[in-house]
């Protein structure tokens, strides 16, 4: 695929890290970019710098993803590229023992569920809505 200004791309997690680097690289080839992210301050600043559009988006929420795609498509047209960079992690051990009390604590299931909702379900949600 030749990257040029006739192509539009959506990058989830586009306001920082790998998403921002990817958006910057695509824009350097003339690709019209839409940055989907929760962080409006960083997202709007980078979108302005790249000549793209920022769409505040929570990939765990259907309505938020729908609204982001609607805004993106109105601004830069139908995306031909979707790059999923939205994600999170947590450095909590699955189980750990307190050295003083001997009490065992477990990775909080609500934190695990959030990671799955963002990294797995959110990725699938965006793929399905982009297809």
The pLDDT tens digits for 66-85 are 999 999 999 999 999 999 99
> Which CATH number describes the domain made up of 8-130?
3.40.50.720
Token pair listed for 96: 């750990």
Distances (CA, A) of 116 to 78, 109, 112: 28, 10, 6
Contact present, 93 and 111 (Cβ < 8 Å): no
Q: Which residues pair with 55 in a beta bridge?
A: 36
Q: For the segment 76-131, what is each residue's pLDDT rounded down to a tens digit?
A: 999 999 999 999 998 888 889 989 999 999 888 999 999 999 999 999 999 999 98
Which of 83, 88, 89 has the alpha carbon at shortest distance from 24? 83
Q: What is the pTM of this model?
A: 0.91
Residue range 16-65, pLDDT digits in tens: 999 999 999 999 999 999 999 999 999 999 999 999 999 999 999 999 99
């Amino acid at each position: 695929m030749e990257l040029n200004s006739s192509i539009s791309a959506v990058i989830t997690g586009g306001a920082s890290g790998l998403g921002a680097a990817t958006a910057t690289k695509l824009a350097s080839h003339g690709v019209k970019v839409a940055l989907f992210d929760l962080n409006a301050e960083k997202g709007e600043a980078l979108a302005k710098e790249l000549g793209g559009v920022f769409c505040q988006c929570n990939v765990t929420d259907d309505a938020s993803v729908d609204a982001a795609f609607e805004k993106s498509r109105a601004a830069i047209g139908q995306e031909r590229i979707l790059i999923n960079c939205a994600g999170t992690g947590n450095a909590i051990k699955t189980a750990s023992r307190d050295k003083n009390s001997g009490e065992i604590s477990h990775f909080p299931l609500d934190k695990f569920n959030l990671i799955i909702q963002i990294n797995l379900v959110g990725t699938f949600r965006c793929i399905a809505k982009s297809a």
